C-alpha cells in the first residue's frame, strides 16, 4: 500500500485530508518537526501546526515540547483503537438521529412497484422480511447452503409454522440444515440449469424476488422484487412451472 492509499483509507475512516496526510507522514518519518512533516506530506508548514494539534486532541499524536516543536505518532494499535471508537460513536449518533426523524411507517410502495436492490445484506434482509409476511406459501430457490443467511433460515422456520415452506436447492447440506424443521427441502438434480441461475423467492403466488451474483466490486449480488402485483403473479407462474418441472427430477 502506498502513502496515498493510506491517506485515502484514513479519510474513509473520517479523518480530514490534512490530518490523514500529516498522520501518514509522521509514521513514515517516525516523528519530526513541522518542516519535516510538511516536506514529507506536502501540507503547508503553516497548516501542519494546527493539524498536528488536532491530531493530538484526538489522541493520535504526541507533542514534544522542544525547540522547534516536534511531533510523534502514537502506536498503530493505539490509533486503531481510537479510530474504531470514533467510528462507533459516529455510527451510534447517526442512527440515533435517524431514529428520531424517520417516518412512523415505512413506505412499502403501491403494490405495483418493481424495486431493485444491490448487495448481499440488503437482499438477505428483504428476503427475510418478505418471508415473514407470507400467509399461504413460500418457495425459495437457494442453490447452495451459503445462499441462506441465518436470518433467512430463521424466517423460513417461523413461516413454516403457519404456511407451506419449500426450499429448492442443489446442496444436500441445505436439507440437513432443516432436518428438524417443518421446512420442506427438495434437492434438485445437478443437470437442472435453473438451480444455478441465482436465488429466487416466491411468496403467496404473487410476490417474487430474483437475485443474481455480480462481478461488479464491491457489489456481490443484485436483485429485483415486486410485491402483490400483476407482474409478481406472472413471474410466480413461471416460477411455479419451473419448480414443478425441477421437482420431477429431484433426488
Could you give the C-alpha distances from 85 to 46, 59, 77, 216, in angstroms and in order?
A: 30, 12, 12, 31
In this prediction, residue 195 carries a pLDDT of 46
Strand, helix or coil for residue 229: coil
Q: What are phi and psi of 135, to 5 degrees?
A: -115, -30
Directed axis angle between helix 34-41 and helix 45-57, to 10°?
A: 100
In this prediction, residue 251 carries a pLDDT of 45
Q: Is the pTM of this model over 0.85?
A: no
> Does residue 131 share a domain with residue 68?
no
In this prediction, residue 162 carries a pLDDT of 92
Structural domain total, the chain:
2
In this prediction, residue 19 carries a pLDDT of 93
> Does residue 154 share a domain with residue 35?
no
Cα 23 to Cα 51: distance, rounded to the nearest angstrom: 9
Q: For the chain, give the longest Cα–Cα distance.
A: 84
Q: Which long-range contacts (CB under 8 A, 24 or more apart) does 211-220 make?
A: 211/117, 211/123, 219/118, 219/119, 220/119, 220/120
For residue 213, the cross-strand partners are 221
> Does residue 237 share a domain with residue 119?
yes
> Does residue 134 share a domain with residue 209?
yes
Which CATH number is 45's domain given? Answer: 1.10.10.10
> Does residue 232 share a domain with residue 134?
yes
Q: What is the mean pLDDT of each run of 10 residues along the chain (251 residues)?
A: 87 90 93 93 93 91 89 90 88 83 56 78 92 92 90 94 91 90 84 64 87 77 81 73 56 45
* Nearest Cα to Cα of residue 159 among 113, 193, 207, 100: 207
> Does residue 239 share a domain with residue 121?
yes
DSSP class of 20: H
For residue 115, the cross-strand partners are 225
In this prediction, residue 194 carries a pLDDT of 46
Q: Domain for residue 96, yes or no?
A: no
DSSP class of 50: H
Q: Domain for residue 94, yes or no?
A: no
> Does residue 132 share a domain with residue 240?
yes
Of 56, 72, 89, the last residue of a domain is 89
> Does residue 216 share a domain with residue 179?
yes
Q: Domain for residue 56, yes or no?
A: yes
Cα 23 to Cα 11: distance, rounded to the nearest angstrom: 11
In this prediction, residue 62 carries a pLDDT of 92
Which CATH number is 227's domain given? Answer: 3.30.870.10
Q: What range defines the domain where residue 142 resides?
A: 114-248
Could you give the C-alpha distances from 109 to 76, 98, 129, in angstroms and in order?
A: 48, 21, 14
Amino acid at each position: 500500500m502506498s502513502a496515498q492509499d493510506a491517506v485515502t483509507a484514513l479519510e474513509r475512516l473520517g479523518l480530514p485530508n490534512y490530518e490523514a496526510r500529516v498522520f501518514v507522514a509522521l509514521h513514515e518519518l517516525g516523528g519530526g518537526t513541522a518542516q519535516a512533516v510538511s516536506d514529507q506530506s506536502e501540507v503547508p508548514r503553516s497548516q501542519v501546526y494546527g493539524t498536528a494539534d488536532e491530531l493530538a486532541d484526538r489522541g493520535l499524536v504526541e507533542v514534544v515540547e522542544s525547540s522547534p516543536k516536534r511531533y510523534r505518532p502514537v502506536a498503530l494499535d493505539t490509533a486503531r483503537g481510537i479510530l474504531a471508537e470514533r467510528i462507533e460513536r459516529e455510527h451510534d449518533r447517526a442512527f440515533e438521529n435517524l431514529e428520531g426523524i424517520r417516518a412512523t411507517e415505512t413506505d412499502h410502495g403501491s403494490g405495483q412497484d418493481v424495486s431493485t436492490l444491490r448487495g448481499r445484506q440488503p437482499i438477505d434482509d428483504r428476503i427475510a422480511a418478505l418471508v415473514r409476511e407470507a400467509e399461504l406459501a413460500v418457495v425459495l430457490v437457494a442453490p447452495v447452503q451459503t445462499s441462506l443467511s441465518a436470518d433467512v433460515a430463521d424466517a423460513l422456520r417461523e413461516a413454516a409454522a403457519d404456511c407451506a415452506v419449500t426450499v429448492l436447492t442443489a446442496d444436500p447440506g441445505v436439507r440437513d440444515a432443516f432436518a428438524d424443521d417443518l421446512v420442506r427441502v427438495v434437492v434438485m438434480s445437478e443437470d437442472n440449469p435453473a438451480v444455478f441461475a441465482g436465488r429466487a423467492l416466491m411468496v403467496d403466488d404473487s410476490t417474487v424476488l430474483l437475485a443474481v451474483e455480480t462481478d461488479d466490486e464491491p457489489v456481490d449480488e443484485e436483485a429485483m422484487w415486486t410485491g402483490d402485483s400483476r407482474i409478481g403473479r406472472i413471474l410466480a407462474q413461471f416460477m411455479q412451472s419451473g419448480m414443478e418441472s425441477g421437482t420431477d427430477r429431484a433426488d
